[in-house]
Structure 1
Amino acid sequence: MNIVVLAGGISTEREISIISGTKVCEALREKEHRAIVVDVSFGKEEMPSDLFPSAYDLDREVAYINSFNGQAENRKKDKEFFGSNVLEICRQADIVFLALHGENGENGKVQACFDLMGIKYTGTGPLGSGMAMDKGITKSIFRSAGVPTPGGVLLKKDNYSKKLEDYQMKLPVVVKPCCGGSSVGVCIAKSQEEYEKALEESFSYEEETIVEEYIQGREFSVGVVDGEAYPIIEIAPITGFYDYKNKYQAGAAIETCPAEIPAETAEKMQEAAVKGYQALSLESYARLDFMMNEKGEFFCLEANTLPGMTPTSLLPQEAGALGMDFPALCERLIQVSLKKYE
């Protein structure tokens, strides 16, 4: 197949997206697909004469994409999100593998554009993407569907109280941007001073912030592919919590898959993951994150519609527990995504 792996962009997760895109492209090439990686926001100034070559210098292409890293902030000021020739390149592919992370990529806007243009792509459509990206909407839907989730409140930058008692909440709490990803801007506040500082940081990213009950305990993640829950993985940071640094710094967390929890608990968590996946109208694949307290009660935090895709990312590790290597998983995600178009 001729495949465009779309990566990069202008979100706070640009660099992680490039890594995901590089590894996915490499894996698809290994499976003998004619895959190329393209930066969604910078594209190519000229259309190549041979768009999907049999021989492809991936390292050179990634170096070209990385050369734009310092321009991402300025690019945000442009009205046009897509880079030069990106849409035309994507139209010529059999499918686009979305290796995008963060705001414009996971929030459904790219998916909606592709739907209108008849471009096939991996993952969830615009509706599910938009709902899952917004943690306030996600929390509301989880509550309605009976998916256990921490208590919390949505605050708006221009109208909120710094007094937790006004929201029937108390310290400690978790403060995080409503639509962010990769734990960017997430803080655990244990004092009033930390809480006010966390609000200030969160509102520096966007206009809405989630303040939710802090669940102290163990952290887990469950991949759901084509409506089926994969083995659960436990994430245990060496220090602190699973923030941006601990997600992407090698050796910063101990990851165990399958997670060492009672079979009954694992089954119920997987059922909750599938329930959350369905409630958010997700398609093809996603990853749902959980916390479990000392009583063994678990709570779903959020859903990731375009989870990290390197061989050591969480979803690939879960697939590995099923005997599926990284290239096979990438191929699997393409096949389940194509079902949308049958």
Structure 2
Amino acid sequence: MKIVVLAGGISTEREISVVSGTKVCEALRAKGHRAILLDVYFGLEGADVDEAFTEEYDIAAAAAYIRSFDSRVEASVSAGREFFGPRVLALCKEADMVFMALHGENGENGKVQAAFDLFGIHYTGSGYLGSALAMDKGLSKQIFRENGIPTPESVLIHRSEPRKTAEEYGMAFPCVVKTCCGGSSVGVYITEDEAAFADALEEAFTYEPQVVLETYIRGREFSVGVVDGKPYPIIEIAPLEGFYDYKNKYEPGSTIETCPACLSEEQTEKMQEYAVRAYEALRLESYGRIDFLMDEDGKMFCLEANTLPGMTPTSLLPQEAAAMGIGFAKLCETLIQVSKEKKFI
């Protein structure tokens, strides 16, 4: 197959996206596919679309080309240039499939997916509807509650509103402040007092105009992959310090990950059931990853859904697949296969 692995972009998760995309491209090339790595925002200058999907391909050079634009992202966004870079749409139209290795803003929020639907471009993962619903934590938590999926109590705050204390919002300390549509735990703060709460609000509002204020749940952290509507083994995430923030997600040795998680059969079935229900309630398709907390009394709380989870061999979803005997390259092919038909368009 001719495959564009789409990465980069303008979000705070640009670097992680490039890492995911590089690993996916390597895996697909090893399987004999004519995969190329492409930055959705900066594209490929001077590329001949008809000859782009060559048998020989230098993935490291492609990744270095994408990273050469890192310092230009902010200025380019400020200048208001159009989102799709040179040759991006032409290359994606020429491909049999676009593997979405994008993370965060304008990658997981449904905008790229909606554009691709209009252009008739086939891509992996959920469509625009599920992507948009899952990206907005305020909205997704409302959908969880309406569908009987337990989630921490929360309040949605807009930047234009007068500031209040945590107590006035009905929250006790510690409480969590998080950006509404962020990813990789960027813009997430656990606050212990009013001063820290006020600072966290101001910092979070530098990322987005809406912020979710959430009850803090002390307990164990888990994630459940759902592929083609079926749950994968549960993985437990145990940071050596703090919570599963950006540092603990991506710094080697900072987190102990156990898959399958040490849970009773009943707990495993219940969490997997909640994961599938969340996947269906948010109108997700093809695959996703649902994150959970479990408190000291064994009560489970669904936090959020990830429509384009990280895709390196040590990322959570690939680890869950490995526990089932599915290697990384085979998983990449599986995600392409289950993405060929979408219901929600």
TM norm structure 1:
0.98
Structure 2 residue 128 is the aligned partner of structure 1 residue 126: yes
Q: CA deviation at 1:197?
A: 1.0
Q: Percent identity?
A: 63
Letter aligned with residue 35 of structure 1: A
Root mean square deviation, CA, Å: 0.9
Distance in 2 separating the partners of 1:29 and 1:75: 31
User: Are the equivalent residues in 1 in contact too, given 2:166–2:197 (CA < 8 A)?
Assistant: no
The runs of at least 4 consecutive aligned structure 1 residues that moved more than 6 Å come to none
Q: CA deviation at 1:47?
A: 2.1
Q: CA deviation at 1:163?
A: 1.6
Distance in 1 separating the partners of 2:31 and 2:319: 19
> In the TM superposition, what whole-angstrom CA distance separates every residue of 1:55-100 from its partner, at most 9, and x where no partner exists?
1011111111110011111121224001011001100000100000
Question: Match of 1:106?
Answer: 108
Q: Which runs of 5+ in 1 are unaligned?
A: none
Question: Match of 2:17?
Answer: 17
Aligned residues: 341
Q: Which runs of 5+ in 2 are unaligned?
A: none
SS in 1 for 2:223: strand
Distance in 2 separating the partners of 1:8 and 1:82: 11
Distance in 1 separating the partners of 2:245 and 2:313: 20
Q: CA deviation at 1:254?
A: 0.2
SS in 1 for 2:152: coil
Structure 2 residue 255 is the aligned partner of structure 1 residue 259: no
Distance in 2 separating the partners of 1:160 and 1:277: 35
Question: Match of 1:320?
Answer: 322
Letter aligned with residue 201 of structure 2: L
**Alignment match of 2:167 (pick from 165, 168, 174):** 165
> In the TM superposition, what whole-angstrom CA distance separates every residue of 1:6-65 from its partner, at most 9, and x where no partner exists?
000011000000000000000001111100000000001112352100110111111111
Letter aligned with residue 66 of structure 2: I
**Alignment match of 1:183 (pick from 185, 192, 202):** 185
Question: Match of 2:60?
Answer: 59
Question: Match of 1:268?
Answer: 270
Q: CA deviation at 1:160?
A: 4.1
User: Are the equivalent residues in 2 in contact too, given 1:10–1:75 (CA < 8 A)?
Assistant: no
162-171 vs 174-183, which moves further: 162-171
SS in 2 for 1:308: coil
Q: CA deviation at 1:244?
A: 0.4
> In the TM superposition, what whole-angstrom CA distance separates every residue of 1:138-188 from its partner, at most 9, and x where no partner exists?
000000000110000000001043222322221111100000000001000
Letter aligned with residue 58 of structure 2: D
SS in 1 for 2:45: coil
TM norm structure 2:
0.97
Letter aligned with residue 34 of structure 2: R
